[in-house]
Structure 1
Amino acid sequence: MPSLHLNGIAKRFTGHTALHDLSLTVRDGEIFTLLGPSGCGKSTTLWSIAGLHRPDSGSIAFGDRVVYDHGRVNTPPEHRNCGVVFQSYAIWPHMSVYDNVGYPLKLRRADKAQRDRRIREVLELVELGRHAKRYPHELSGGQQQRVALARALAHPPDMLLLDEPFSNLDAKLRDRSRQWLKTLQEQVGVTTVFVTHDQDEALSVSDRIAVMDQGRIRQIGTPAEVYDHPSDLFVADFVGTVNILPATVVEADGTHALIRLDGIGAPLRVPHTDKRIGPVHIAIRPENIDVIRHTAGDEPEGTLVARIESQAYLGDHYRYGIRIGATPVTVTTTRRIDADSLTFSLPAHDVRVFHEEPSTNEENRHAPVH
């Protein structure tokens, strides 16, 4: 399967720029996810790859085959050989599962024996071999989604493009579908671009993720890189749950810094690759805050104590709400706290520090330091 290359893609609609000079490479055979809030440009990017939107500049190539080069090449959607699964599935209600899946082959004038063989292959692949004669109204939402995926794979595509395909499913079925898609994609090996606004979905199925905001890419990385080492404050805040606190760098040598937080007496010494002094924001995940057991009046040195303001039991963990200074903070732990207060520490290696940059084009920019 070919790799995918986008270079300098821009797309403008009336009074609005949806994509700003966007460039990325999707490796051969990987699941690459475009993740971001509504309106960030992820679907516009997907439709530009498919040929359903025509960019205003830039180029798109499937391996060595250029399918779009502004002013020179614009391969029609039907000749790009993309398998597309829409959010609404878009399967035809008057056709059986067999006919829905076989429709792309019929359009390409494949003979009946070839169609029958390929339809059986992809239906077995998506575990719907026994449902070939059924109609969409006789299927569950998850089964309809698999019919749409089988149809996208019927004529082996160069690219598989998925636009929030699980958004109409309930939570448990979404989780099962993610696992199933990951296994299926590994079997088929097709280069896949997956669009979602669901962080859990992106983290669980992706080989790499591009986090998008207002038509720009904020960060590209593996799920672990994006979650554990966000490139800026937007990524830290959007991907997963995070506590963001105002702070001040009082000393910095380019390797470490002393960070002062409101509500904490002694400064924290944290890894820090910037020498600037002054206001910053720190970010720390709720699960990375160390909850410390102790007996009353025997708090270990260097730890902090805060009153518990809220608590919730969530099955496999507990969630507690506290404050550090005036800032609400969420702490998660597998331990039940049978007290009115919580003793904790902020591990230096899990604290991310961000200097706020001057805004550009009315967008806030943050420079990361780790």
Structure 2
Amino acid sequence: MPDLTLTKVAKSFGVNVVLHDLDLRVRDGELFTLLGPSGCGKSTTLWSIAGLHSPDRGTITFGDRVVFDGGRIDVAPERRNCGVVFQSYAVWPHLSVHDNVAYPLKLRKEKRSARAARVREVLELVELDRLEHRYPHELSGGQQQRVALARALAHPPDLLLLDEPFSNLDAKLRERAREWLRALQQRIGVTTVFVTHDQHEALSMSDRIMVMDQGRVRQIGTPEEIYQEPADVFVADFVGTVNVLAGRAVPGADGTARVWLDGLGLPLVVPTGAGLDGGAGIDGYVRLTVRPERIVVHPPSGAPADAVNVVTVKVRSRAFLGDHYRYVADLGERELVVRTLSPVDHGSELTVELPPDAIRIFGPA
């Protein structure tokens, strides 16, 4: 399978600029996810790769093959050899499972015997080989989604393009479907571009993720890099839950900065390498981010003597969410979300520690 490369791809609809000189490279055989809020340009990027949109400028290549180059080259969608699975599945209701999957092969005028053999092969791949004579109205949503995937794989594609394929499934089925699809993608090794606004799908399935906002790339990295080392506050806030705390930083002489939060009597100690261009020039208004699960809850007897950034917070609410408890508390004049595995019966107050290595520091908004 080829690498996919987009260079300076831009697209506007009227006066609305949807993509701003987008650069990305998807490696051979990886599952690469486009993640971001609605309207950020994810689907426009996917449709530009598929040939369903023509960018205003830029180049798109599949390996050494140029499929788009400004106004000079624009290969038709049917000649790009992309397998596409739409959000709505788009299976034909008047055709059986077999005939839906066979349709791309029929268009390519493959022999009947070859078509039948390939349909059997891909239906076994997606675990629908016993349902080939059923019609879409006789299938569940998850089964229809697998029919759409089988059709996309019927003629072996150079690229598999998936546009939020699980959005119409319920939560339990969606979880099973993404595990199944990830295992299938790894087994067949097809280079895949996956579009979603669901952070859990992106984190659980992807080799790498590109976080987008308003047609621009915010960060590209592995799921671990995106979650643990966000490039900016937007990425930190969009991927997972995060506390964003504003304050004024004063540089220290020991590789740390002291950050004063409004309404909090003591400063928080933050490593200067925890963001903000490696800590260069930390002086003035900043924003801190800390994940709720990284906050340590101490017993009423108090924190250990060597604990840093220990504060007492007033509990505003508590919620039980099955596998954890979620507390919302007041930290100075800010809201602090704390996640813990066990209930904490501390009355109206919690003693918490914000470990310095759990904090990242960014410039003002």
Deviation at residue 265 of structure 1 after TM alignment: 2.7
Q: Is the 8 A contact 1:259 1:267 kept in 2?
A: yes
**What runs of 5+ residues in structure 1 fail to find an aligned partner?**
357-365
Q: Is the 8 A contact 2:122 2:154 kept in 1?
A: yes
> Does structure 1 residue 172 correspond to structure 2 residue 172?
yes
**C-alpha separation between the residues in 1 aligned to 2:197 and 2:119?**
32
Q: Which residue of 2 aligns with 1:327?
A: 334
Q: Which residue of 1 aligns with 2:294?
A: 288
- The equivalent position to 1:348 in structure 2, one of 332, 351, 356, is 356
**C-alpha separation between the residues in 2 aligned to 1:307 and 1:257?**
26
Q: State the SS of the aligned residue for 2:44.
A: helix
CA RMSD in angstroms, aligned pairs only: 1.3
Q: Is the 8 A contact 1:209 1:226 kept in 2?
A: yes
Deviations, residues 20-74 of structure 1 (Å, cap 9, x unaligned): 0000000000000000001000100000000000000100000010000012111
Deviations, residues 223-277 of structure 1 (Å, cap 9, x unaligned): 0000000001111111111110111111156943222223433322222122231
Q: Is the 8 A contact 1:31 1:205 kept in 2?
A: yes
Q: Indicate how the Cα distance of structure 1 residues 205 and 252 shifts in structure 2: closer, same or farther if over 3 A, else same.
A: same
Q: Structure 2 counterpart of 1:226, which letter? A: I
Q: Is the 8 A contact 1:101 1:119 kept in 2?
A: yes
Q: Structure 2 counterpart of 1:135, which letter? A: Y
Judge which range, 273-282 or 220-229, deviates more.
273-282
Q: Indicate how the Cα distance of structure 1 residues 128 and 212 shifts in structure 2: closer, same or farther if over 3 A, else same.
A: same
Deviation at residue 327 of structure 1 after TM alignment: 1.2
> Does structure 1 residue 130 correspond to structure 2 residue 138?
no
**C-alpha separation between the residues in 1 aligned to 2:53 and 2:39?**
15
**C-alpha separation between the residues in 2 aligned to 1:62 and 1:253?**
51
Q: Structure 1 counterpart of 2:318, which letter? A: Q
Q: Structure 1 counterpart of 2:73, which letter? A: V
Deviation at residue 329 of structure 1 after TM alignment: 1.3
**C-alpha separation between the residues in 1 aligned to 2:80 and 2:155?**
12
> Does structure 1 residue 308 correspond to structure 2 residue 326?
no
Q: Structure 2 counterpart of 1:277, which letter? A: D
Q: Which residue of 2 aligns with 1:47?
A: 47
**C-alpha separation between the residues in 2 aligned to 1:213 and 1:234?**
9
Q: Which residue of 2 aligns with 1:359?
A: none
Q: Indicate how the Cα distance of structure 1 residues 139 and 79 shifts in structure 2: closer, same or farther if over 3 A, else same.
A: same
Q: Which residue of 2 aligns with 1:247?
A: 247
**C-alpha separation between the residues in 2 aligned to 1:77 and 1:125?**
25
Q: Which residue of 2 aligns with 1:336?
A: 343
Superposition map of 1:218-233 within 5 A: 218-233=218-233
Sequence identity (%): 62
Deviations, residues 259-314 of structure 1 (Å, cap 9, x unaligned): 2223433322222122231001101111011111233xx45455211121100111
Deviations, residues 121-173 of structure 1 (Å, cap 9, x unaligned): 11011011110000000000000000000000000000000000000000011
Deviation at residue 89 of structure 1 after TM alignment: 0.3
Q: State the SS of the aligned residue for 2:363.
A: strand
Q: Which residue of 2 aligns with 1:56?
A: 56
Q: Is the 8 A contact 2:314 2:331 kept in 1?
A: no
Q: State the SS of the aligned residue for 1:309.
A: strand
Q: Which residue of 1 aligns with 2:9?
A: 9
Q: State the SS of the aligned residue for 1:244.
A: strand
Q: State the SS of the aligned residue for 1:178.
A: helix
Q: State the SS of the aligned residue for 1:311.
A: strand
Superposition map of 1:151-170 within 5 A: 151-170=151-170
Q: Indicate how the Cα distance of structure 1 residues 161 and 254 shifts in structure 2: closer, same or farther if over 3 A, else same.
A: farther
Query: Post-superposition, which runs of at least 4 consecutive aligned residues in structure 1 deviate over 6 A?
Result: none
Deviation at residue 316 of structure 1 after TM alignment: 1.0
Superposition map of 1:26-45 within 5 A: 26-45=26-45
**C-alpha separation between the residues in 2 aligned to 1:33 and 1:317?**
28
- The equivalent position to 1:279 in structure 2, one of 285, 309, 321, is 285
**C-alpha separation between the residues in 2 aligned to 1:212 and 1:326?**
31
Q: State the SS of the aligned residue for 2:83.
A: strand
Q: Structure 2 counterpart of 1:157, which letter? A: P
Q: Structure 2 counterpart of 1:304, which letter? A: V
Q: State the SS of the aligned residue for 1:176.
A: helix
Q: Is the 8 A contact 1:100 1:147 kept in 2?
A: yes
Superposition map of 1:85-234 within 5 A: 85-234=85-234
| Structure-2-length-normalised TM-score | 0.95
Q: Which residue of 2 aligns with 1:317?
A: 324
Q: Indicate how the Cα distance of structure 1 residues 31 and 253 shifts in structure 2: closer, same or farther if over 3 A, else same.
A: farther
Q: Is the 8 A contact 2:257 2:282 kept in 1?
A: no
Q: Is the 8 A contact 2:159 2:191 kept in 1?
A: yes
**C-alpha separation between the residues in 2 aligned to 1:42 and 1:81?**
20
**What runs of 5+ residues in structure 2 fail to find an aligned partner?**
273-278
Q: State the SS of the aligned residue for 1:308.
A: strand
Q: Which residue of 2 aligns with 1:18?
A: 18
Q: Which residue of 2 aligns with 1:360?
A: none
**C-alpha separation between the residues in 2 aligned to 1:13 and 1:226?**
30
